[in-house]
Structure 1
Amino acid sequence: MLRNRALGAATVAILKATQDGHRFGLDMMEATDLPSGTVYPTLARMEARAYVESEWEGVRDAKAAGRPRRRYYRVTAEGARALSEALERLGVLAGAPPRAATQG
C-alpha cells in the first residue's frame, strides 16, 4: 500500500494545503496553523523528495504588489501519490474502510 515511508502530520497537512491551492509559505502557515519553523523546513524536505516543486515570483510582480517576492509551491505527481496513500492510511487507522472496499 505505502510505496513511500509514512508521512508525518505536518507533511500531510502542508501537502494537502498546497494541493488545495495554498501556494506560498505564509499562506500555508495560515491554512495549517503551523509555525514557520515547521512549514519551511518541511517544504525543503518535500522538495528534496520531489513531492513539491517551487518557483520564485517575478521581481516585477512582487514590486508591483509592494511586498517581498514569494516562493510558490505546487504538488508533483509523486507528492499527490504520497498524499493519497497517507490519507488512505490515516483513514484505515481511524477505522474507516479502505477505499478499495468501498468502491464497486
Structure 2
Amino acid sequence: MTSPTLKVIEVFLAEPDREFYGLELRAATGLANGTLYKRLMDLEAYGWLESRWEYPDADERAGRPPRRYYRLTREGAVQAREKAEGAARARARGGLRARLGTQGA
C-alpha cells in the first residue's frame, strides 16, 4: 500500500461513519489534488468507498460548487483496517531492524 493511499484511509478510519468531501480530505492528508483524487477513485473502484454528490441549496451562498462526499463502505472499513494494521506492523519491523542494525555497528 502506498503512503498516499494509507494517509487517505487513515482519515476515514479515524471517523469511519463520517462522510468527507475533497477539500476536507486534502487538508487532512496534505496530498495534492491529483494524488488525492486518484486514490479516491481507486478506493471507490475497489469497493472500499462510496460517494454521492451534494448540490448547494438556493439559500446557500451563491457560486458554491457541488461537493462530492465519500464514505467508507462496510467492506472497505474491514479491508482498510487490515491494510493499515499491516502497514503499521511493517513500519515497526523496519524501525526495529534499523535500530538493531545501528547497535551492531
Number of matched pairs: 89
- Equivalent position of 2:31 in the other structure: 34
Q: Normalised by the size of structure 2, how large is the TM-score?
A: 0.73
* Aligned-residue offset at 1:43: 0.6
- Equivalent position of 2:103 in the other structure: none
Deviations 1:7-48 (A, max 9, x none): 322112112213434601111011000000101111111111
Alpha-carbon RMSD:
2.0
Equivalent of residue 49 in structure 1, options 43, 46, 50: 46
Q: Normalised by the size of structure 1, how large is the TM-score?
A: 0.73
Q: Which runs of 5+ in 1 are unaligned?
A: 1-6, 97-104
Q: 1:88 to 1:81 in 2, by over 3 A?
A: same
Moved over 4 A (4+): none
Worse overlay, 81-90 or 15-24:
15-24
Q: 1:28 to 1:13 in 2, by over 3 A?
A: same
Letter of the structure 2 residue corresponding to residue 18 of structure 1 = F
Equivalent of residue 85 in structure 1, options 79, 82, 85: 82
**8 A Cα contact 1:22 1:28, kept in partner:** no
Identity of aligned residues (%): 33
